Amino acid sequence: MSTQSSAAVISSAIAAARVESYPDSRKPIGSIRFQPIPLSLSYCKSGKISSRICAMAKPNDAETLSPPSSSSVDMMTLSPRVKSLKPSKTMVITDLAATLVQSGVPVIRLAAGEPDFDTPKPVAEAGINAIRDGFTRYTLNAGITELREAICHKLKEENGLSYAPDQILVSNGAKQSLLQAILAVCSPGDEVIIPAPYWVSYTEQARLADATPVIIPTKISDNFLLDPKDLESKLTEKSRLLILCSPSNPTGSVYPKSLLEEIARIVAKHPRLLVLSDEIYEHIIYAPATHTSFASLPEMYERTLTINGFSKAFAMTGWRLGYLAGPKHIVAACSKLQGQVTSGASSIAQKAGVAALGLGKAGGETVAEMVKAYRERRDFLVKSLGAIQGVKISEPQGAFYLFIDFSAYYGAEAEGFGLISDSSSLALYFLDKFQVAMVPGDAFGDDTCIRISYATSLDVLRAAVEKITKALEPLRATVSV
């Protein structure tokens, strides 16, 4: 089963999914080629995929509909910008796993990057009180002054960064902040430098801005950290934005200050180059690792757009609250975009955000207890999965993901399934035959690995390890591991 076919099955399996194929002219980016993903049921018809997954697959137009008449072509035409986007494979697999669970299949879900903890009670109460007090109307586009002042205080106390409230833009989640920042600073033809593995939306958001993603692969032997020499070799006069994520999704890697300082010295040589620093996981970090905000480095304050939010550390994913901090003129440009897209974030969520920042430095004891649990889960997975023959792991220093190299099992034949040739086919094998949902590494720009989210209980993780171990045993006989 090829990357293309296995990805097609995963994409097809969601009943509501209707995905356009990418143009054949898509060009490789760096060393990574993004292949077309046709929507088809042919893989179900081959008999290699289980009936429970195929039962949810929705036929594509070619299999059920006659070609559109010439009079309806214009009506059916989509924007090339939208057609060129890849769907988020994280969301695809998360939705598929949820659909399987709803249909009675006991899937262990390790795909979504969502804390399993409840929103802290003082934060939830602040949201409830906002409703009771009638604080349910539109807010300032940039966010309520109380929250922006609280964010400024947080950035000063925790990150050593001095901002005024007009340098803060509160948005409906960090993802919106990222997109608005990219749209605000990138022009058609600009290059966005993205170390791989990367979060799935970076490349697609760059394309929405008509910019060109330039991928710089990293190595598991280097803990997936960007080599400054590789960065320097990729920079050109078109380089506009470097995206850094520390702690990293999907690897959990944390950039030490010394390495960030090397990167900053390179950035300083390129006057057009800005840095988009995604720090959404900054509080989920395991000692002795420490977090350094890129904007705090010499000469980088005016060159850095810092993205953060409340979803991960404070278990507030559904509240949809994030923010951008940076130079005033760029924040103003992002605010102008937001004013034409969503306007201000939820008034209720903003009041909850104020309460979250009031829990204490780095979230206080409440967040510290969550991080303690994440660390215990990480240690269990690293020990258990690291003991499996052929598996390679870079121990994460933050976030709640393991990015595991299973490539030693590529080329294996699974009875009743077929050839496992890549991360997508292996992820599908785990899901279809052993009911464990994980995200294939090709979604993050590294096809050797699979991402596991350990934002779930130890009991669930123990069951997952048992199933993963059992799934790999029959493959070992067909490959040299």
Rounded CA-CA distance 154/160 in Å is 9
Using CA atoms in the order 421, 423, 426, 430, what is the torsion angle rounded to 10 degrees? 180
- What DSSP character marks residue 29? B
* Residue 455: CA count within 13 A, CB half-sphere: 26
Burial class (CB in 10 A: 0-12, 13-18, 19+), 236: exposed
Cis peptide before 197 (omega within 30 of 0): yes
* Residue 352: CA count within 13 A, CB half-sphere: 27
3-state secondary structure of 205: helix
3-state secondary structure of 252: coil
Q: How distant, in Å, are the alpha carbons of 252, 374, 378, 400 from that of 453? A: 10, 10, 10, 6
Residues in a beta bridge with 374: none
Write down the H helix ranges in 13-170. Answer: 42-45, 51-54, 61-64, 70-76, 80-83, 89-102, 121-132, 145-159
- What DSSP character marks residue 398? B
Rounded CA-CA distance 459/212 in Å is 43
Rounded CA-CA distance 105/108 in Å is 9
Burial class (CB in 10 A: 0-12, 13-18, 19+), 25: exposed
pLDDT of residue 104: 87
Rounded CA-CA distance 256/425 in Å is 34
Burial class (CB in 10 A: 0-12, 13-18, 19+), 35: middle
Say which residue the tokens 């999704």 belong to.
249
Q: Class for domain 80-116+365-473, per CATH?
A: alpha beta
Q: How distant, in Å, are the alpha carbons of 20, 304, 331, 338, 474 from that of 194? A: 25, 15, 22, 24, 37
Q: Are 435 and 105 in contact (CB under 8 A)?
A: yes
Enclosing H/E stretch for 414:
strand 412-414
Say which residue the tokens 């964010």 belong to.
151
Burial class (CB in 10 A: 0-12, 13-18, 19+), 158: middle
Nearest partner of 264 among 304, 216, 312, judged by Cα: 304
The two beta strands, 212-217 and 439-440, are unpaired
3-state secondary structure of 320: coil
Residue 335: how many other CB atoms lie within 10 Å? 22
Q: 411 — phi, psi (to 5°)? A: 100, -5
Q: 51 — phi, psi (to 5°)? A: -65, -30
pLDDT of residue 1: 39
Per-residue pLDDT of the chain (481 residues; tens, 9 = 90+): 333 333 444 444 433 332 332 333 333 323 323 233 332 333 454 455 565 565 554 444 444 445 555 555 666 788 888 888 887 777 788 788 888 888 888 999 999 889 999 999 999 999 999 999 999 999 999 999 999 999 999 999 999 999 999 999 999 999 999 999 999 999 999 999 999 999 999 999 999 999 999 999 999 999 999 999 999 999 999 999 999 999 999 999 999 999 999 999 999 999 999 999 999 999 999 999 999 999 999 999 999 999 999 999 999 999 999 999 999 999 999 999 999 999 999 999 999 999 999 999 999 999 999 999 999 999 999 999 999 999 999 999 999 999 999 999 999 999 999 999 999 999 999 999 999 999 999 999 999 999 999 999 999 999 999 999 999 999 998 888 7
Q: Class for domain 122-361, per CATH?
A: alpha beta
Return the amino acid letter for 227.
Answer: D
Domains of the chain: which residue ranges? Answer: 80-116+365-473, 122-361
